[in-house]
Chain A
């Protein structure tokens, strides 16, 4: 008989005598392919014993000050026969009383993968303050520089937000949006205006910022954080928050918000707060009001200025026309809760702040008035507001929840995630996950042959893989002409239709998938080497869509890469740009180098106009799994086994199960932890 031990922190929770704990595990379920984060939750009813009363501090008694805070989950762990089994979080759901006395506490244990959702919550990409290390002034020089940049996480790709571009080598003068650069002769007025372009950032930089903001999230270096994983590493997200031209806060308010460059002035006692990329990071303890967070601002002179405090990227406080010194968050009621806070100041006239003129103190008490620790941050140097058209990444990155961003990548690349023993979130493609194990468990002697079941393993008649955002002009036209969405894969083997299953299944990635355009020279009717994108809809209106991702093509693949003309103003002469960042759906423009691309189906490549780019997302990441699902020999076998600890404790979901002389992959398994009774759903391996 196995015994379960539940710990909250270091305290062991009293359990009722016959607590049955059932654990369902699945890494990829054939019945719900797009579900990317496996979950483990278990609800317990635990007795209101003296031990548990002390842990939950008589939660039913709301008069108790500093009682158990059921608004937040607390760290917990499960052990089986005193062997570590699962770590996670406990949430207190409530208390049942009998005769007005506490009888049962109802709690739910959440495994650590769910923790990802809890940690990220509804936070947007815009809350990733770490991205602002790449912020820069939005001007001709920087756009040109990033258009020509061959490396780095920030580029300006040749994607226009409003106007279509063309290439006409017969026109030399005043042809805005004509990319032809005339290096000979008198007239040279062609070109695309720099303000048609926006910046883009690598998805890896976003992953880095997620890990920076949430210290509890550490991804493995299997898929993310892996420079050799070029399929992911060269992907960019276009920083396109609104349709049309870039609108910085300069454009909105007539003045520029400038982030105050804080540095640590002093830190004493325990670590109670942090400073990350000029933002003050307050932990969860500040929620309870056991701290102070006063902010003091003292300018030079009496010119009015405006103050803005961002909490996780969103405006938390805004104050305009401030004159002279001012204090914020200096009362118990206004103490800041947990979050990442950035201070921005703006003014119509330049306002100076002497070194240390702006001070922010985070002080946390153990039990007031005993202080646990104090962090004071100040502006180390003189700071002033000046007029900058600042391209702040968190202001320009598309609106998207971080969890949706991760889910989208997981869906694109058919990734699996699980938390390893040291808390790292191991992210791998499904194929590599299965390939990582060669362990086979023969469970014949543990098998209960009394009853078993063999079901059809084909839950769907067909599966669609597509992007949610297909509204840009060329993608839309592709759909109108071909009656199928751009990049979408509709999979049934050999395109046959099965009549038994009735439902289709759709894996939809919430990114924009643009069809790019290779420009022809309209004068000579020959193709140039220019691949570009335009973010307008089929009414030729600027378009917002979903967050756009693409590969960057920089290296001049061909000796005769076509130079383009970039203009600072309509009236100015253009600069000739000979190497520049082009967007693409394929990792390379040369199929001999790589066929990887982010279409689900094998489309004609916009550059080569061939179907040589066979490394689609479907072929590279889904085909092995999906084609087996549709195999005529595929069955879903359900058996029961009584697994001993030596098997159950070591069994991983990518291990193979052997019954008799047949081997199976684990689709799911549900185990009663106290008896070892395990209900397997197995998929026979197809060779």
Chain B
């Protein structure tokens, strides 16, 4: 079973034999037949021909990404069945009927260099964490504030998806099948407890990224206005107006909050995490509202990042702006 990165095209193909006039591809997602695709071939084949179908967009619709407190990646099960027939529109008799292809789809992506039909974990061997790896040392390392717990998503050698918890004092965490991730603890008490950003990373898994230094919050307000007619015509007296009644009316007032977070100093290998944060379509901010912790959806407003290196920049620190992905005044309908 392949682990498909559904933000990329995923081609399924059949080698149709001579005499085939059409190929039918059925896509079953989470046990329900969702799509039947039919390609007619211009003429009966005189030799074999490979016929491809891209199923990624079709299957990706069915991954309903929401924040998961258990950090186990959300996926869809995909079954692709391809058959060739000797008549158009899947008519006549079946000529080729290879075995049904079973896959699992992730809200994940491969890069251009990772070539066609990328699969998770992009060349790494199982078991592994579903987070970036320090390619120089081939080790996993994350940064977290002192006394903060967390979870790390992983996949084992049997393709089982899970998440491993770490305590507030752990400096490393090991999965049940022995994969180690180092946790570098940071003291950020000068600026509070640190700000946790959660995002769906390149592997389609939920990952934390801590911003240790200062946070600034901004509120941007918009409204509209018009010049109203406030005159009234009381019976028995002259037309008049109320001086407390503003002729210049304001309406449709709305606001958005933005959070500007400074990452603190990160090692160079962590650039990969900031890249994946920038490319993620699902990002949340862990914050406090009315004394309680709450996870809110945000959009990464920063659109460009100059990757820093220890050679050029000595100390690597990023400042990123996040906009709350909702209006401040609730208007959800």
Contact = CB atoms under 8 A, between A and B. Distances in A.
10 contacts: A3-B331, A50-B60, A53-B61, A61-B58, A65-B90, A448-B228, A449-B228, A642-B249, A642-B251, A659-B229
Contacts of A1: 252, 254, 331
B57 A449 contact: no
Contacts of A53: 57-58, 61
Contacts of A54: 61
Contacts of B331: 1, 3
Given A447-B229, A640-B226, A50 B61 contact: yes
B215 to A, nearest CB: 26
A414 to B, nearest CB: 34
Contacts of B25: 63
A441 to B, nearest CB: 14
A448 B233 contact: no
Nearest to B34: A54
A444 interface: yes
Interface string B315-333: 0000000000000000101
A675 B252 contact: yes
A660 interface: yes
Interface in A299-325: none
A58 interface: yes
A444 B241 CA distance: 12
A86 B252 CA distance: 23
A66 interface: yes
A445 B230 contact: yes
B228 A447 contact: yes
Nearest to B37: A63
A684 B229 CA distance: 19
Interface in B12-41: 24-25, 35-39
Contacts of B61: 50-51, 53-54
B224 interface: yes
Instruction: Specify which of B35, B64, B229 lies most central, judged by the most chain A CB atoms within 10 Å of its CB.
Output: B229
Contacts of B39: 63
Contacts of B89: 65
B229 A64 contact: no
Contacts of A82: 333
Interface string A59-87: 00101111000000000000001100000
B72 to A, nearest CB: 20
Interface string B83-97: 000000110000000
Interface of A: 1, 3, 5, 50-51, 53-54, 57-58, 61, 63-66, 81-82, 101-102, 444-450, 640, 642, 659-661, 675
A66 B229 contact: no
Contacts of B224: 675
B53 A445 contact: no
B228 A101 contact: no
Contacts of A661: 233
A640 B230 CA distance: 15
B228 A65 contact: no
Given A65-B36, A450-B226, A675-B224, A660 B57 contact: no
B231 interface: yes
Contacts of A640: 226
B38 to A, nearest CB: 5
B227 interface: yes
Nearest to B60: A50
Nearest to A54: B61
A64 B226 contact: no
B57 A444 contact: no
Q: Which 5 A-B pairs have the closest CB atoms?
A: A50-B61, A448-B226, A63-B37, A3-B333, A65-B36
B275 to A, nearest CB: 19
Instruction: Specify which of A50, A54, A66 lies most central, judged by the most chain B CB atoms within 10 Å of its CB.
Output: A50
Contacts of A675: 224, 252
Contact of A449 (B58, B60, B229): B229
Given A1-B254, A3-B333, A64-B36, A445 B228 contact: yes
B191 interface: no
Instruction: Specify which of B36, B227, B231, B333 lies most central, judged by the most chain A CB atoms within 10 Å of its CB.
Output: B333
B233 A101 contact: no
B35 A448 contact: no
B307 interface: no
A444 B226 CA distance: 12
Nearest to A450: B227
B11 interface: no
Nearest to B25: A63
Instruction: Specify which of B24, B39, B228 lies most central, judged by the most chain A CB atoms within 10 Å of its CB.
Output: B228
A445 B249 CA distance: 9
B212 to A, nearest CB: 32
B142 to A, nearest CB: 30
A5 B36 contact: no
A318 B38 CA distance: 35
A642 B231 contact: no
A57 B252 CA distance: 36
Contacts of B64: 50
Given A64-B35, A448-B227, A449-B228, A660 B233 contact: yes
A5 B35 CA distance: 27
Contact of A63 (B38, B230, B247): B38
B174 to A, nearest CB: 36
Contacts of A446: 228
Contacts of B57: 53, 58, 61, 101-102
B78 to A, nearest CB: 15
Contacts of A64: 35-37
A447 B231 CA distance: 11
A445 B333 contact: no
A82 B232 CA distance: 34
A365 B222 CA distance: 54
Contacts of B226: 448, 450, 640, 642
Interface string B51-66: 0010001101111100
A58 B333 contact: no
A65 B88 CA distance: 13
B48 to A, nearest CB: 20
Contacts of B251: 642
Contacts of A51: 61
Interface in B82-134: 89-90
